[in-house]
A and B are shown apart, each in its own frame.
Chain A
Amino acid sequence: MSTWTERPELAAYLARQRWFAGAQQTTVTQVQPLAWLSDPLSNPGVRFEIVSVLCGAEPGVYNVPLSYRTEPREDLSYGFVGATILEYRTFYVYDALHDPEARAVLLSGFVEGAEPPAGIRFGRLPGFALEAGVDNVLLGAEQSNTSVIAGDALVKFFRRLSPGVNPDVEVQEALTLAGSDEISPLLGWIRGGDFDLAMVGLFQRSATDGWDTARASVRALRDDAVRAREAGGDFAGEAERLGAATLAVHTRMRELLPTAVWGPAEIDALVARLNGRLDAVVAAHPVVAEHAAGARAAYDRIDRSLPVAVQRIHGDFHLGQTLRTSAGWKIIDFEGEPSRPLEERIGLDSPLRDLAGMLRSFDYVAHSIPALTGVISLDPSVDEAALADDWVRRNQIAFLLGYGFDRSDAAMAMLRAYEIDKAVYEVAYEVDHRPDWMGIPLRALKALVAAAEGR
């Protein structure tokens, strides 16, 4: 059926895309086209194609909707994949997401009364339908998805696929149906074969992500050179409301999705996992070694005698996963840490892991600006790092206050352990990708280990 396995064009196209993970020599091993969404001679003929690849030895599965045209189109050349022959006819094939007419076909299954072909399901949550012929526009490039705005809907086409239900769709559907105000509601999804191919959410036109919102505050702080509480750009009110939104989402997830309680054996296993990750990082990154003993001691302080309530959590919680809208904070992207395997991403864990992620994010955002710009104060007596630390402390406390965090010894020990685990991971990431930023998590790791020891 498909010629892409014998010919280089599709592999070459994939290798040029930002959402494609492989950096090495890529070969397309299998292409499984789904049913036509429009007749191949209707210009464009459109269908989803599930593309299996090998990058070096690494296998991957990608969602590549293609549009087939009988004449070449100059204006679509950015998304041109190659020419191919189907049923004795030549077709010019384009990435359907870069072809406006093809995008309309991809979305047409969400119109009221549409009858998509067998094997492809367009799920619509109550109240959602697209108007026929609604204007659509492609959003800029993203790491792992391609997003399209159609009316008030944001349609996110997953590019890298895992079999089964995408955790983002699963969690957001449950939260949306329960009426959660603290997420951006799910409107629908596209499922084909064994895969979730796309999800539809409300397009939050008025939103800015939490990372940019917090950076505006840090910028104002640096200019004022005062304690965070006195700064015009104080963020503590926002941090507190974000804490409250996080609690509301965690509570809903606990009510709607699986939960469990960890006893001594599971807690031992957790500590073993934390130590295992630490060992792996220390082996590859000697810069962490001097803090390893302190980190292990902090992990050991987790109290095995007290049961730990675990549940589905966000799993990759940081300021970039939040949106500040005119109707308050919204938490987004429940797919977990994308680099981890699916079973780990949907595994149960303590919600304190999410809190630790956000506490680390406050530290990151405050210190990222000096990391980018260097010291700017004209007054040598101003200690910018100390002012940033003060901002971090104030907003971490406000966030935990908004969450209603219980500051018992057991909870604090667990939170510290998760923070240290996160900081260790961050050091490894920065050493590999952004050595200039390594100082941020390293400095935090040192302080966290010291705090855990009560120093």
Chain B
Amino acid sequence: MARLARLALSEEEVELMAGELSAVLDHIARIGELDLDSVPPTAHVVDVTGALRPDEPRESLPREVALAQAPAVSNDGFLVPSPQA
């Protein structure tokens, strides 16, 4: 699960969290007792449909502003370690 979440966790962290999360999941499991088969799910609580904006070109953030907060930059782009070092 930690790999899926892209989180590096130490052995101790995994152990501690497994205990804590099991306890939380025990509480959460109570919604399993409800009869919900005929109930539709709610993804969004307010009725909004077709909230589209006009498809017009707009100025984007200037490149140097977008890059200003990056930990590493190279050739006007974000610099990252190689995916396959």
The answer to whether A and B interact is no
Report A's interface with B, CB cutoff 8 A: none
